[in-house]
Structure 1
Amino acid sequence: MNKPPLSLIIGRLQWRTPPLSQSSSRGFTLIEVLVTLAVMAVLATIGIPSMAALMDSIRLRSASNVFFSHLHLARSEAIKRNSRVVLCKSADGVSCVSDGGWEQGWIVFHDANTNAALDSGETVIHRAAPLAASLRFTGNTNVARYVSFAPTGATQLVGGAFQAGTFTVCRQSASSGDAYQIILNAVGRPRVQKIEVSSCV
């Protein structure tokens, strides 16, 4: 049986293999690029508000959990030291303030002279940084300025009356939204609950 010449085999291979200039690579048309950009813009406008809402929810929960843990810290320190320990609002981490909300930060300290103010020689146990600028954190009348734990772990005002109250942390807004409350009972035990507020200013 005669074999075909080598030149004929090579010619057939060249005929079956398309030249590089006829490859299927091509670019995008202007319309395809514009449609892609429009779809991406729509997805971004849907996704960004959802992400912002998620971040706000995380900040709210984190703030309430941090404050909750610091109430427990102050209570346990009062029992351990057999002496009064106070948690108060503080904008600078070195003194208690009466104005503004709890969002400006707070300190936990050993209140040796039981006056609910950080005085010279009293030990600062913990300092908390300010919350995110978008958050508001308030306490009602009895806990608007400080929380004072007696050696028994119960909460007491400077005058000796029992101290109980509710803290509310929310995202600043004129419309309704989620919030967290830290509720402190007269024996010094806090609990956290999620609520909805009509506004947060």
Structure 2
Amino acid sequence: TTESMKQSTNYSAISRMRYAHQSVGGFTLMELMISIVILAVLFTFAVPSFRELMLNNKMTANVNDVISALRLARAEAIKRDSFVTVCASNAAGNNCATDDPPIPFHQNGWLVISDTGVAGTMDGTDELIRSYPPISDENFTIQYNNGNFVSFNTLGFVSSVSNGTMSFCDKRGNQTGVPINIVISSAGRVRTEHPTAPDCES
């Protein structure tokens, strides 16, 4: 009958309105909730991975800066036919640190200097070749096992008869693969390694 058809039409219209209220941008409310849960799970895994990526990039950048300084010093020593030194900077940033025990390289940054006078200090006609700023991240450290400086002679060899090691650590501590060492051979060669038994503070 006509009355029944009207009631059926009204019921269909109400149903469509209810369904429309439960849809958002083409998604049902249930689909939207599932999407939010999936995004939350992905975010939980993505944040630590992103943090690891940022720390790895910072570690690599700092290691590369020190390697750059060491290679510059070696090349300048050969070119100038005189000693050139990479040293931990003093607090003023205008000379090598002479602290005992040695201060870490990251604290005040490091310098590349011509070093014709007293070893490991800028005096007389010595020249500042390049300076590197301190590392702003207080959780990052560079420790050198042979004092405050590395000196290269006219042949590009270092003054120490044994290998020197610079240890790079960050806030992650002793986790495998995190610390990096720069090893400086007596011949002045520079290489990196991941120590099997790192000594980093957490």
TM-score (norm 1): 0.74
Q: Specify the alignment match of 1:57 in structure 2.
A: 56
Of stretches 98-107 and 68-77 in structure 1, the one that deviates more from structure 2 is: 98-107
Conserved in 1, the CA contact under 8 Å of 2:78 and 2:154? Answer: yes
Name 1:118's counterpart in structure 2.
122
Contact 2:103 2:148 in 1 (8 A): no
In the other structure, the counterpart of 1:128 is 132
TM-aligned CA distance change 1:175 to 1:181, over 3 Å: closer
Q: Which amino acid is the alignment partner of residue 110 of structure 1?
A: S
SS at match of 1:195: coil
> Could you tell which deviates more after superposition, 170-179 or 73-82?
170-179
* 1:21-60 to 2 correspondences below 5 Å: 27-28=23-24, 32-60=31-59
Q: Distance in 2 between matches of 1:75 and 1:199?
A: 28
In structure 2, distance between residues paired with 1:89 and 1:198 = 22
User: In the superposition, relative to structure 1, how do residues 110 and 52 fare at CA in structure 2: closer, same or farther (>3 Å)?
Assistant: same
Does 1:137 pair with 2:136?
Answer: no
Contact 1:179 1:197 (8 Å CA) reproduced: no
Highest CA radius of gyration, 1 or 2?
Answer: 1
Q: Distance in 1 between matches of 2:196 and 2:61?
A: 17
**Structural RMSD (CA):** 2.7
What's the CA shift string for 1:19-38, capped at 9, x where partnerless? xxx99976426655544333
Q: Distance in 2 between matches of 1:192 and 1:84?
A: 24
Alpha carbons 1:176, 1:197 under 8 Å: kept: no
2:152 paired with 1:149 = yes
Query: Percent identity among equivalent residues?
Result: 29
Structure 2 counterpart of 1:76: 75
* In 1, Cα distance between equivalents of 2:52 and 2:121: 38
Gaps of 5+ in 1: 1-21
TM-score between both structures, scaled by the size of structure 2 = 0.73
Whether 1:108 aligns to 2:112 is: yes
8 Å contact 1:86–1:108 — kept in the other structure? yes
Deviation of the 1:49 alpha carbon: 0.3
- Count how many residue pairs are aligned between Structure 1 and Structure 2: 174
Structure 2 residue ranges without an equivalent (≥5): 1-15
CA contact (8 A) 2:111 2:132 kept: yes
Structure 1 residues 163 and 85: CA distance shift in structure 2, 3 A: farther
CA drift at 1:124: 1.0
Q: Indicate how the Cα distance of structure 1 residues 108 and 47 shifts in structure 2: closer, same or farther if over 3 A, else same.
A: same
**Pair 1:92–1:82, CA change in 2 (3 A):** same
Question: What residue number does 2:187 align with?
Answer: 187
Cα distance in 1 for partners of 2:82, 2:164 equals 22
Name 2:66's counterpart in structure 1: 67
